[in-house]
Structure 1
Amino acid sequence: MKFAQKLSCTIILLVAASFSVGGFLLVWGNFNDSLDEAEAQAERWHLMQCYAMESEVLTRMAQGTEITDENMRSYMESLPAYESESLATMNFIRLMTDESEVYSAFTSDTWADWFPLRGGDTAYELRQADDRCYLLLQNQVNTPVKTYYMQSVNDVTSVFDARDQQLWRLWQMEAVTLVLCAGAAVVLSNRLTKPLKTLSEASTRIAQGEYDVRTELDTGDEVGLVSRNFDAMAEAVQKNVDELALSVRQREDFMGAFSHELKTPMTAIIGYADTLRSMQVSPEQQRMAAGYIFSEAKRVESLSRKLLMLMGLSEQKAELEPVPLEQIFRAVYVALAPVSSRIKLCFQKSPGVVVLADKDLLTDLVYNLMHNALKAEPKDQRIYALWRQEKNRICVTVADKGRGIPADQLGRITEPFYMVDKSRARRQGGSGMGLALCSEIARLHGTTLTFESKEGKGTSVSFWLELQTSEGADGK
């Protein structure tokens, strides 16, 4: 059974139970009130007959008339015709002594069998016979002559009939109410559970791989809160899945690039070595083959060294110490000068600027960034190493006005072996490991590389370092 159906049934059952209990209590209260009123009326009439009889006895005695059963019978025969018209219920009376019946207006022999009643001088009791209800009353009337017993039967069937009629109307009203309530409960339940249906459908679609599905419910209650939490969970799942897919793609790219980077020099080495092994060549050809073997072996050595360095950086922690920035710039200039004859290296002066860094790693970081800028073939034949200060930090930026990097590839350029232009990079001796090493070095210094690039206009790479002292660092 669906939740909406369960909710509808629950609402209907609660309404039915509440209506039934409340209606029954109301009818039962009205019935008890009516029955009490009927009993009080019957009792007043009965007592009135008793008092009238006692008065009659006293009057006869005062007149000197003898009190006999025959006199009492004559008196009693005059009462029903005189009193019955004023009563709402049917009343029947009988007068008894201990020995015999003096007078009886009972119309049924069954009524006579119900007496005498137990309960002392005054007693009453409810009885049912022939689908009718009767109230029995009995009083002891003491006279100087003898003791009489006044007995009456009062028909109170109308009170019970009124109760049954009220109950019947109650059931009719309850049936109509339940039908209307059932329709309202179904509509209300479907409306209340519609957000849950949306959540269920969204979870099913996410389970099937549609991780971009969102519920976006704004109900203003707990369901809305569940919706927001569900969407946040879906967002986290999608992010993790995307990261996992990216990780798989990066691993595949890494393995493909690594295999390719090894295959190219190994093919050359094997080919030239096989030539030297199996063929008779001239000394000049031997030197050429040996030169190729040497250069390709050095390329493999360089690749292996960079891989080991990248693995080592991911496991070690840098020991940061005060290092003059001017010293870093000078070491990079000296290292790049032999390969940058046509490109001017422009370093911003930094007297007195001391940063917290690992000197060798920071030198490699700036060197690699500027070496990459050299390969970008800047239009103005210049590469810039700049810095600016903000409070107790400085931002170091390496910029060029070269080819630039496509916007869709900026997010992957720090992956190992990733190259924007593979053919040009390999011709320039690149392996795609430089920026990966730079990213790891930046991480060890508690910072990250920030790239800004436009195709045809150039690239800038920035990172932040902590200052040891800011004396003389005016940024000019």
Structure 2
Amino acid sequence: MKYRTFLTTLLLFLFSFNLGIVIICITTFKDTVHRAEEKSLGEHYFITSALIKDFQSVESRGTDIEGSLGSLLQPYSYLSGDKKVKLALYQGNQLVYSNRQEIGMPSRFVEPPKDGTRLVSMQKSAGHTYVMVSGKLPVPYDSYTMVYLYDTTDAITAWEQMKNTLFIAGLILSSLFAFGLLLLLHRIFKPLSQISQISREIAAGAYNTRLPVSGRDELSEMAQSFNHMAEEIQRQIQELAAAAEQKQQFADNLAHELRTPLTAIYGYAEYIQKVVRTEEDKLFATNYIMSESRRLQKIAYRLLDLATLRENRIELTDVRMEELVRGVEQALSLKAAEKNMQITYEYRFETLFCDADLMHILLVNLIDNAIKACSPGGVIKLAADLEDGHKVILVQDNGKGITEEHLAHITEAFYRVDPSRSRSGGGAGLGLTLCRQIAVNHQAELSFASELGKGTTAKLTFTGKSSDKSVMP
């Protein structure tokens, strides 16, 4: 496209530029010829008028005109002093006077019209160009024809030199224009070439490639827009890759989680079927089969809860914190008492804009994880307060804590900080994953902070409508 644009623009320029030169040359040539013809006509008229007066003066003295032609025309020889003018006087077809050697003339100039019309023409002879004016003298001297020749060779030569100079200058300017146009188009099309090259690189997988941005013109804006598009593409590809990796990890973890209980169920079922055992052994095997079946059921229910949260919009209402805390306390008080742990509850706002059931599940899961992380005699605190204008719920424990390596993954499906403890406790490995999804559905952020040996803090920050409710005095 660049070279087509170059050739098209260059051809249009050359056509317009050379057409202008041709028009200038033609106009100048016509002006040169016109001025030479005007000068020649004026000189011819002057000489003819003066010569008639001389003829009349000679006749008044009774002298023969033919015998006096040389002396009568001699004063006009000064006109040819620069050798540019030739005078010729014809009587009929006979040349009776010439101040320079004869130049061949067409017959129509020797015998011009008798009505007094003068003939004007350009003629070349012996390498010279002349303006020729021919006309008969008035009656009674109409037998005479005065021919005036003006040598315009110098003017025509100057015009030809000017013409050649213009075309040479035009050639030089055209070359400079072509070179400049090529550089300009190269600069204009360079971003397009870079876009094409970088697009191919991005398509090949080099997502970090960007266009250089310089200046503040339209090309810079285009480069910035392209870079923004490339950044968005890279971000979306990274998100897709991360999502694909998470899905693959989820599938791998799910297969791993299902394998253990299925293997145990199959093994104990085969044990009951093929081996003769006492009723006590069969009861033990049956109980184990039922335990693992409940484990699979928990996983299925949790996955169903996650799918429901992702696909449906929940209905949020104003829930009193007193009722929400009471429900959580009833669900966990017995378990905390069995492990000799203390759970405290504090809240400084009256209502929370949420789904009561889902928020109950989230808080129960967070506190249940805190119970599992604490030793007997541990203390767990649930605190609801305001922070930077947003409502915040904190669940703090003084358990053993979590390393930073594990902390970044604890909300991933089936991720276990302590796999042996989680399986023995019957967990499905989906509790915190479900909590994170519940937080997302409430326009809230779930974050964790922990220090080994000192405990863990789960923080739920509401950024939506729930943060606008009134605070308790």
TM-score (norm 2): 0.85
Q: In structure 2, what is the equivalent of residue 213 of structure 1?
A: 209
1:22-59 C-alpha deviation (Å, 9 max, x unpaired): 54455445444433332233223222211221111221
The match for 2:429 among 423, 428, 432 is: 432
Amino acid at match of 1:165: Q
Select which of 79, 96, 105 maps to 1:103.
Answer: 96
- The counterpart of 2:357, out of the listed 335, 357, 360, is 360
Match of 2:315 in 1: 319
Q: Report deviation, 1:319.
A: 2.7
Match of 1:91 among 73, 86, 90: 86
After superposing the two structures, state which structure 1 stretch, 265-274 or 156-165, moved more. 156-165
Within 2, Cα distance between the matches of 1:396 and 1:104?
130
Q: Which moved more, 1:272-281 or 1:53-62?
A: 53-62
What secondary structure sits across from 2:396 in the alignment? strand
CA–CA distance in structure 2, aligned partners of residues 272 and 81 of structure 1: 145
Shift of 1:293: 0.8
Residue 43 (structure 1) aligned to one of 36, 41, 44: 41
Given that 2:118 and 2:135 are in contact with CA atoms closer than 8 Å, whether structure 1 keeps it comes out as yes
CA–CA distance in structure 1, aligned partners of residues 116 and 275 of structure 2? 145
Q: How does 1:54-453 map to 2 (within 5 A)?
A: 54-65=52-63, 68=65, 70-71=66-67, 73-75=69-71, 78=74, 81-86=77-82, 89-97=84-92, 100-101=93-94, 103-105=96-98, 107-112=102-107, 114-116=109-111, 121-128=117-124, 132-144=128-140, 146=142, 148-340=144-336, 341-350=339-348, 353-377=350-374, 381-389=378-386, 394-402=391-399, 404=401, 413-445=410-442, 447-453=443-449
Note if contact 1:404-1:459 (Cα within 8 Å) is conserved in structure 2: no
1:6/1:469 Cα in 2 relative to 1: closer, same or farther (>3 Å)? closer
Whether contact under 8 Å (2:332, 2:368) holds in the other structure is yes
**CA–CA distance in 1 between the matches of 2:406 and 2:206?**
26
* Shift, 1:371, TM fit: 1.7
CA displacement 1:166-214 (0-9 Å, x = unmatched): 2223333344444455554555544444433332322121010111111
C-alpha RMSD of matched pairs (Å): 3.3
| Aligned-pair CA distance for 1:287 | 2.1
Sort the Cα spacing of 1:13 and 1:459 in 2 relative to 1 into closer, same or farther, 3 A.
farther
Aligned residue in 1 for 2:50 = 52
Q: Which amino acid aligns with 1:101?
A: Q
Q: Secondary structure at the match of 1:291?
A: helix
Give the secondary structure class of the aligned counterpart of 2:426.
coil
Distance 1:420 1:111 in 2: 121
CA distance in 2, matches of 1:193, 1:319: 56
Distance 2:402 2:413 in 1: 17
Matches of 1:272 and 1:295, distance apart in 2: 12
Match of 1:460, SS state, is: strand
Q: TM-score, normalised by structure 1?
A: 0.85
Moved more, 164-173 or 113-122: 113-122
Measure the CA separation in 2 of the matches of 1:407 and 1:33: 95
CA distance in 1, matches of 2:97, 2:468: 127
Larger RCO (alpha carbons 8 Å, 6+ apart): 1
Q: Secondary structure at the match of 2:39?
A: helix
**What one-letter code is carried by the residue in structure 2 that aligns with 1:261?**
E
Task: Decide whether aligned partners of structure 1 residues 74 and 44 sit closer, same or farther in structure 2, where only a CA change above 3 A counts.
Answer: same
Q: Is contact 1:212-1:238 (8 Å) kept?
A: yes
Amino acid at match of 2:195: L
Task: Choose 235-244 or 114-123, whichever is displaced more.
Answer: 114-123
Instruction: Give 1:438's aligned amino acid.
Output: C
Cα displacement string for residues 307-359 of structure 1 (whole angstroms, at most 9, x for unaligned residues): 22222223333233332112211211221123332432121145x70223222
CA 123–114 in structure 1, closer or farther in 2 if over 3 Å, else same? closer
Q: Deviations over 1:237-290 (max 9, x none)?
A: 111111111121122112111112111111111101110110011233222211
| DSSP-derived class of the 1:83 partner | helix
Change (3 A) 1:17 1:230: same
Residue 310 and residue 139 in structure 1: after superposition, are their counterparts in 2 closer, same or farther (change >3 A)? same
Q: Structure 2: how far apart are the matches of 1:107 and 1:406?
A: 122
Alignment-mate amino acid for residue 259 of structure 2: K
Do the aligned residues in 2 keep the contact of 1:135 with 1:155 (CA within 8 Å)?
yes
Residues 300 and 31 of structure 1, relative CA distance in 2, 3 Å threshold: same
State the SS of the aligned residue for 1:142.
coil
Query: What SS class does the counterpart of residue 246 from structure 2 fall into?
Result: helix
Alpha-carbon distance between aligned partners in 2 of 1:455 and 1:17, rounded to the nearest angstrom: 82
Give the Cα separation in 1 of the matches to 2:228 and 2:377. 49
SS, match of residue 137 in structure 2: strand
Question: CA shift at 1:426, angstroms?
Answer: 2.9
* Partner amino acid, structure 2, of 1:388: D
Distance 1:378 1:281 in 2: 40
- SS of equivalent residue, structure 1 residue 103: strand
3-state DSSP class of the match of 1:348?
Answer: strand
How many angstroms apart in 2 are the aligned matches of 1:430 and 1:9? Answer: 76
Cα distance in 2 for residues equivalent to 1:453 and 1:42: 110
Secondary structure of 1:214's aligned partner: coil
Aligned residue for 1:466?
466
